[in-house]
Amino acid sequence: MEHLTQEQQQRASGLKEIYLEHLLEARRRTACAAVLQEVEAGFPISAAYLRVIQPAMYTVGSMWQNNEIDITTEHYCTAATQLLMAQLFPYALVQPRNGLSMIGCCLGSELHEMGMRMVCDFFEFSGWDTYFTGAVTPGDDIVRAIASREPDLVCLSATMFTGMPQVRDVVHALRQRMKDRAPKVMAGGLAFMVNPNLWRVVGADGTARNAPQAVATAGALLGIGKTAHA
Ligand code: B12
């Protein structure tokens, strides 16, 4: 992610508080407008994702876990944030394409899809074409889709540890089916952050802690980047 000035860092943390405050008061239009106005005025879009949206969702998770908000409020914040991300996506449309492609999904019973979506958006901002299938993607079907589409990279996202067998099975099935045509696979998401060695256990080629680091690591894995940030 590009370097932020101290002033931009302060703006980011202020914006995260403002965004969250509006959402918690059920003002999603004002919340989205606050972020969109800043981005239109030149605030870096990567910082809007990584320093406003992502930490706001982490705070929502902590508040829900601590019984400070109910599940309806959490769902409202999630739905509003997906709306905001959809409004930010057009910024990806103006970036030149680099000829690389990535398939990203959340397998099996995994419902947490916003992290994977954010990762896909950062690849799009960097010129990749992405094929994002979202939550609850069946393993057998995604293996077929990958074999037919032949992307340069596959990204599998898991928040819940219960999804590990499916991630491992998909990685294995891809290698069995595609042999030396099998694309590189990255695995990431909260489960992989909690246990930093898990990506090796499931047989992936790499991991990263957030969306911009995922793009950098992908570049390194494919031999087109400067450094790995796994
Ligand atoms: C929104 C949310 C939901 C929504 C998801 C809706 C949706 N459409 O996505 C709903 C309501 C469905 C939900 C359900 C549940 N949730 Co929930 N949820 C969240 C919440 C609040 C936000 C998730 C989010 O969007 N984060 C923002 C994104 C941008 O961050 P991220 O996912 O970490 O992604 C970044 C990195 O991880 C990385 N990354 C992600 N994927 C990948 C992939 C690759 C390849 C790479 C390299 C990197 C990478 O890059 C991303 C961008 O920078 C979190 C709180 C939290 N701390 O995240 C709880 C949280 C994840 N949920 C939790 C729980 C317990 C549940 C439920 C079990 C609750 C229940 N009792 O039913 C269910 C499980 C559902 C299931 N089967 O999957 C716990 C998980 C604890 C754990 N690990 O065991 C959390 C942490 C809340 C908490 N503090 O307790 N949840």
3-state SS assignment for residue 127: coil
Q: Is 151 in the pocket of ligand 1 (CB under 6 A)?
A: no
Do 76 and 184 share a domain, yes or no? no
Do 101 and 208 share a domain, yes or no? yes
Do 108 and 195 share a domain, yes or no? yes
Q: Is 155 in the pocket of ligand 1 (CB under 6 A)?
A: yes
Residues of the domain holding 120: 95-221
Using CA positions, which residue lies closest to atom 20 of ligand 1?
A: 61
Q: Is 166 in the pocket of ligand 1 (CB under 6 A)?
A: no
Do 116 and 150 share a domain, yes or no? yes
Do 76 and 55 share a domain, yes or no? yes
Check residue 1 and give its pLDDT.
59
Give the number of the atom of ligand 1 that is nearest the alpha carbon of residue 156: 45
Q: Is 46 in the pocket of ligand 1 (CB under 6 A)?
A: no
Q: Is 110 in the pocket of ligand 1 (CB under 6 A)?
A: yes
Give the number of the atom of ligand 1 that is nearest the alpha carbon of residue 162: 77
Do 27 and 57 share a domain, yes or no? yes
Instruction: Please report whether residue 82 resides in a domain.
Output: yes
Do 70 and 149 share a domain, yes or no? no
Q: Is 10 in the pocket of ligand 1 (CB under 6 A)?
A: no
Using CA positions, which residue lies closest to atom 46 of ligand 1?
A: 188
Cβ neighbours of residue 78 under 8 Å, at least 6 residues apart? 57, 60, 114
133-171 pLDDT, tens digit per residue, is 999 999 999 999 999 999 999 999 999 999 999 999 999
Mean pLDDT along residues 125-131: 96
Residue 229 has pLDDT above 50, yes or no: no
Largest distance between two CA atoms of the chain: 53
- For residue 39, the domain's CATH number is 1.10.1240.10
Give dist(CA 91, CA 4) in Å, integer.
19
Q: Which residue has the higher pLDDT, 40 or 1?
A: 40
Give dist(CA 225, CA 220) in Å, integer.
4
Using CA positions, which residue lies closest to atom 5 of ligand 1?
A: 112
Residue 129 has pLDDT above 50, yes or no: yes
Residue 228 has pLDDT above 50, yes or no: no
Do 64 and 114 share a domain, yes or no? no
3-state SS assignment for residue 107: strand
Q: Is 103 in the pocket of ligand 1 (CB under 6 A)?
A: no
Do 168 and 192 share a domain, yes or no? yes
Q: Is 160 in the pocket of ligand 1 (CB under 6 A)?
A: yes
81-115 pLDDT, tens digit per residue, is 999 999 999 988 888 999 999 999 999 999 999 99
